[in-house]
Amino acid sequence: MGIGRGKVLLWVALAAGFLLTLLARPLELPTSPGMLIGGYAVLVFLAATAGWLWGLLGAGAALGATILLLQGENPGIPAIGGLMYFGVVGLVEGGMGMWRRRVKSASRPPNKLDLVCNEVLFDDSPTIVHLVDEEGNVIRRNRASRTILGWPARNTLHLSEYVHPEDIGRLRKELRKLFDLGRIQGVELRFISEGQHSVPVEIHARRLSPKRAVLTALDRSEVMELRRKLAEEEARYRYLIEAAIDTMDSGVVLIDAGGKVIWANKAVERFFGIPRDSCIGLPARKVLERLLFRIDNRAEFEDMVRYAYGEGVAVENVECKVRPGLQREERVLQYSSYPIENGGRIDYYVDITQLKRLEADLRRKTQDLEEMNRNLKEYDWAVAHDLKAPARTIVSLADQVLKQNPDGILPQDVRLNLELIREVGENMISLIRDLLHFSTIKVDAAAFEPVDLNKVVKGVCRELSSILDGTEVVIQPELPTVMGIGTRIAEVYRNLIQNAVKFNDKPVPRIEVGCEGEQGGLCVLYVRDNGIGIREEFHETIFRIFNKLDPESEGTGAGLAICRRIVEEHGGRIWVKSRVGEGSTFYFTLPKARVRKVEEQYVR
């Protein structure tokens, strides 16, 4: 039980005894010696547990006086005086006892185990620990201090010895704060070792007394070295990235979250004739105003850029035309701007000047080519008309003379010459007709539509039924559907099947029509015969216009050239594989129609 509580209980015991003594008779309290003795016994017990001997004696005196009063005897002044005497003495003695216990506790030597533990913690701490005075001078230091800073034989150090000269003023300021507030922490400064090496440290300190404090310093050398290496690596990679971007043909501008330009590459300087260093650090809107003075389509470009900046959205492929001027050329740039995660933006300027020039050249050449084609078509028709008219006249006159002069009237040689003139004229008319047809073959891919080859081949065979009489024709079932112009594709099959019949010396001619699969989205189609075959050296030349291997054969030799033109206009190619006496196989490719995929997409 504490001293303060014992004191209170003692006073309660004395006061209760005194009041009971004085008021028992006037108030005619129903008291008895047993009751009073029991009550006083409790008070005496409480006083005794306080550990105050004199207080116990005072309570006993009060008890004696009360008993005398109850017996009808007046204890008088001596009894009351004795009560007060013993009570006062008990209080004084109790107070003196409390003071002696405090003095004894303060002067008691510390426990040896506590001393050993504190010493071990102080000396074996891996961080620098200094006991310092108000001026920052070291009064005592641990082993880590000796290892890191040096001076192993010294236990004390002056402030100017171990603190970097540039940081002494700061440390003194922090020490004043320490002794005023009682604690400082997270203060970064530099110590100096015995070998005059800088040691970066982080200080935490606590006041122990008005003139003493304990200071711990974490060695930050490794952390600072890692930071240095990291900064070097970042600088190196940043240099590599900036160097790479600087070599780009596109202009790049980096804008931070605050809307300021933090970097621009050399292309920006070259495009606009503005030193890039003068742009760095300026608000992006200010830089934009400087660029607008050099742009022809200023209003359109400014609206798009301000929209991108204001709304924080991406814009792409905005053209701006830079006027020529001092240190800059006339250019067409394509501007794009994208927001990035940190709140900034990246602006790109792609130089499309050359592309625009090529596009203009292409448009001009396309127009010239279209004009040439129109002129050529007109020329073809004019030439054809001018050539066909005399040829028709020659054929007509020769035919008229032959009809007007039957056999026997004209000499035989004259008749033969007239028949030759008529035949040559008719052949010339056929050549002119085929030439016109060849020159007008032009397929528009936009007009392509799915073409069912089953229907096309069967239709061609019906048209040629007269020349196919006695020929075995085998058509592969379920030919594919291709994309193209149906009439043109039918013309290819018509020419190939006619040639297969014309150049066949077998008793039973055989023609096969089929498909050998697909290559790169193109159907590989074929027409195969068992005819006379073609020598290998003619496998390419037979596709040239008016190239006939057999001068005595009918026709102009334009059929295979027409087939080649039609197939190539459809994005395919045509070739032949043949051996003399064994027949020929003409292959050609046409784009496959994606009918199934279209249907599936429509169903979904």
Q: Which two tokens stand for residue 185?
A: 């922490």
pLDDT confidence of residue 550: 59
Amino acid making up residue 106: A
Closest CA to 486 of 443, 523, 516, 529: 443
DSSP state for residue 571 in the 8-state scheme: T
**Cα 186 vs. chain centroid, distance in angstroms?**
37
Q: How far apart are CA 187 and CA 162, in angstroms?
A: 16
Q: How far apart are CA 178 and CA 135, in angstroms?
A: 11
DSSP string, 202-237: EEEEEEEETTEEEEEEEE-HHHHHHHHHHHHHHHHH
Q: Which residue has the tokens 């003695």?
A: 93
Q: How far apart are CA 308 and CA 293, in angstroms?
A: 19
SS3 157: strand
pLDDT confidence of residue 218: 87
pTM over 0.75: no
Q: How far apart are CA 249 and CA 265, in angstroms?
A: 10
Contact of 261 with 280, CB cutoff 8 Å: yes
SS3 283: strand
Q: How many CA atoms lie within 13 A of 517 on its CB side?
A: 2
Query: In what helix (H) or strand (E) does residue 32 lie, and over which residues does it extend?
Result: none
Amino acid making up residue 83: L
Contact of 441 with 565, CB cutoff 8 Å: yes
Contact of 541 with 500, CB cutoff 8 Å: no
pLDDT confidence of residue 79: 47
- Packed helices 486-502 and 559-569: angle between N→C axes, nearest 10 degrees: 150
Identical fold, 112-224 and 446-596? no
pLDDT confidence of residue 110: 55
How many CB atoms neighbour CB 460 within 10 A? 22
**Cα 97 vs. chain centroid, distance in angstroms?**
80
Contact of 421 with 394, CB cutoff 8 Å: yes
Q: How confident is the model over 25-73, as pLDDT tens digits?
A: 555 555 455 445 555 554 555 454 444 554 555 555 555 555 555 555 4
Burial 76-108 (b: 16+ CB within 10 A, else e): eeebbebbeebbeebbebbeebbeeeeeeeeee
For the chain, residues with pLDDT lower than 50 are 1-3, 31, 34-35, 42, 46, 48-51, 54, 73-85, 595-604
pLDDT confidence of residue 296: 84
Contact of 525 with 590, CB cutoff 8 Å: yes
Query: In what helix (H) or strand (E) does residue 265 lie, and over which residues does it extend?
Result: none
Domain boundaries along the sequence of the chain: 3-107, 112-224, 248-351, 357-439, 446-596
One of 3.30.450.20, 1.10.287.470, 3.30.565.10, 3.40.50.720 is the CATH number of 248-351, namely 3.30.450.20
The 3-class secondary structure across 427-475, one letter per residue, is HHHHHHHHHHHHHCCCCCHHHCEEEEHHHHHHHHHHHCCCCCCCCEEEE
Q: Which residue has the tokens 């540039």?
A: 166
Q: How confident is the model over 214-258, as pLDDT tens digits?
A: 999 888 877 777 877 877 777 676 666 666 666 677 888 888 888
pLDDT confidence of residue 452: 92
Burial 592-601 (b: 16+ CB within 10 A, else e): bbeeeeeeee
Residue-level length of the chain: 604
Query: In what helix (H) or strand (E) does residue 588 lie, and over which residues does it extend?
Result: strand 583-591
Vertex 487 angle, CA 482 and 488, to 5°: 75
Query: In what helix (H) or strand (E) does residue 9 lie, and over which residues does it extend?
Result: helix 3-23
Closest CA to 574 of 545, 539, 532: 539
Q: Phi and psi at residue 207, in whole multiples of 5°?
A: -75, 135
pLDDT confidence of residue 496: 92
Let me know if domain 112-224 sits in CATH 3.40.50.12780: no
Q: Is residue 588 packed enough to be buried (19+ CB in 10 Å), middle (13-18) or exposed (0-12)?
A: buried
Phi-psi domain of 290 (left: phi exceeds 0; alpha: psi -120 through 50; beta: other): alpha
pLDDT confidence of residue 535: 86
CATH class of 446-596: alpha beta
Closest CA to 556 of 410, 420, 405, 432: 432
DSSP state for residue 30 in the 8-state scheme: -
pLDDT confidence of residue 125: 85
Distances (CA, A) of 75 to 78, 90, 113, 351, 449: 7, 21, 59, 124, 140
Q: How far apart are CA 11 and CA 47, in angstroms?
A: 9
Closest CA to 594 of 584, 602, 583, 585: 602
Strand 510-519 to 472-475 pairing: parallel
SS3 420: helix
Contact of 37 with 45, CB cutoff 8 Å: no
Beta strands in 75-211 (DSSP E): 128-132, 138-141, 183-192, 198-209
SS3 555: coil
Query: In what helix (H) or strand (E) does residue 519 lie, and over which residues does it extend?
Result: strand 510-519
